[in-house]
Amino acid sequence: MTKLHELAELGQAIWLDYISRSLMASGELQELVDQGLRGVTSNPSIFEKAIAGSADYDEDLNRLVRDGRSVAEIYENLAMSDIRSAADVLRPVYEKSGGADGYVSLEVNPALAHDTGATIAEARRLFASLERPNVMIKVPATPAGIPAIETLIGEGVNINVTLIFSLEQYEAVATAYIAGLEKLALAGGNVGRVASVASFFISRIDTAVDKALEEIGNTEIRGKIAIDNAKIAYRRFREIFQGESWEKLAARGGRVQRPLWGSTSTKNPTYPNTLYVDSLSGPNTVTTLPPATLDDFLDHGTVAATVDIDVEGARNRMAELAELGIDLDAITNKVLDEGVASFAKSFEGLIASITEKRSRLLEELQGVSASSGS
């Protein structure tokens, strides 16, 4: 039994924050599943590194160019092929867990983050095209994303809500999820077939808060606020998913929308490299780990229920942060904007790389055609 199996017994699922063609082709993903991995997530940055940074996709890219596909069609074909392959590997986890785990996530185009209608349309299309029950579509927790989440859940689309940084965002996301389930129930849909996670980004908060603390010469609460913020959100999660109204949905098979801890690699080299994993373990949670952090956790991580420990201390430190004149709301709003911009930039870089490869291949094909004609 690995530490991943031990965490699963505790009620926490570990998902891999990485995907690539070679991950499936080499059998590595299956090996990780055998070790207790319970899901996979992707984002534009991950696909940029996978597709633009390797030759693994060149054969398919050549074929798609020869078939006359556009840049957008090439990207979706490559990305969705990986998502389907990963979903197939994870399908036994999905079946064995009764639909609780075994998911693979694909993000809507980050350029749509501020357009509710376009986000809904793209999420619907991607979910239908993937044709797998164990996929989630990633929708950002922007003001435009919140109503999209409610609509999509109401239509039975599995949603991974991404880029959550604040308690206010989280509450809006959870409310949208429950409202979506209620709509689905009223329409006669099967609420037990829908799953969703609310993805909190952890380390980015510490990076921003630590910088503000350093500027005023305070080191006492450095490296603590991101974890405290998550613990308070987890307590709120437990409060929201209880009571009469929720129990009605639960009686129909409704699942809680689990908090998911993302951005879990420590950016400060002086912090333990499993800090965010060790500090946020507990029932009804998911943690996504990039490969290096997963290796570190398997090597020397700690398995213990920690997410609901010292919540009062967390509240006190948050109050201290405010007394120091550091506006956490302003910081979380800023890192949300930066997160949307970062994913958009990665997506643009990926599209630019495919465009360049496509143009080069077209020139080569035209050259071969001209040579044959002469």
Q: What is the DSSP string of 193-234?
A: G--EEEEEE-HHHHHHHHHHHHHTT--TTTTTHHHHHHHHHH
**Residue 108 belongs to some domain of the structure:** yes
Q: What is the CATH number of the domain that holds 194?
A: 3.20.20.70
> What pLDDT score was predicted for residue 45?
86
**Residue 106 belongs to some domain of the structure:** yes
| Number of separate domains in the chain | 1
> What pLDDT score was predicted for residue 90?
98
Strands in the chain per DSSP E? 12-17, 39-41, 103-107, 135-140, 159-164, 196-201, 258-262, 285-289
Residue-averaged pLDDT of the chain? 94
Neighbouring-strand partners of residue 289: 16
pLDDT at 105 over 70: yes
pLDDT at 357 over 90: no
pLDDT at 370 over 70: no
From the candidates 3, 138, 224, 357, give the one annotated as an active-site residue. Answer: 138
Distance between CA atoms of residues 312 and 335, nearest Å? 25
Residue 247 in tokens? 């129990």
Q: What is the pLDDT of residues 22-61, one digit of tens each?
A: 999 999 999 999 999 999 999 888 888 888 878 888 889 8
In this structure, the number of other CB atoms found within 10 A of the CB of residue 162 comes to 30
Distance between CA atoms of residues 161 and 140, nearest Å? 6
Looking up tokens 């919540």 gives 311
Q: How does residue 194 score in pLDDT terms, banded at 50, 70 and 90?
A: very high
Residues above pLDDT 90, as percent of the chain: 86
DSSP symbol at 112? G
Q: Is 224 a catalytic residue?
A: no
Report phi then psi at 56, rounded to 5: -60, -25
**Residue 335 belongs to some domain of the structure:** yes
Which one-letter amino acid corresponds to residue 266? T
**Residue 373 belongs to some domain of the structure:** no
**CB within 8 A of 254, min separation 6: which ones?**
181, 185, 191, 192, 194, 246
Residues above pLDDT 70, as percent of the chain: 98
Q: How does residue 107 score in pLDDT terms, banded at 50, 70 and 90?
A: very high
**Residue 111 belongs to some domain of the structure:** yes
Range of the domain at 100: 3-368
**Residue 309 belongs to some domain of the structure:** yes
Q: Taking Cα atoms as reference points, which of 128, 38, 20 lies closest to residue 81?
A: 20
Residue 107 in tokens? 């993000």
> What pLDDT score was predicted for residue 368?
58
pLDDT at 80 over 80: yes
**Residue 357 belongs to some domain of the structure:** yes
**CB within 8 A of 16, min separation 6: which ones?**
29, 32, 37, 39, 40, 41, 288, 289, 290, 291, 294
Q: What is the pLDDT of residues 266-311, one digit of tens each?
A: 999 999 999 999 999 999 999 999 999 999 999 999 999 999 999 9
Three-state DSSP at 134 gives: coil
**Residue 374 belongs to some domain of the structure:** no
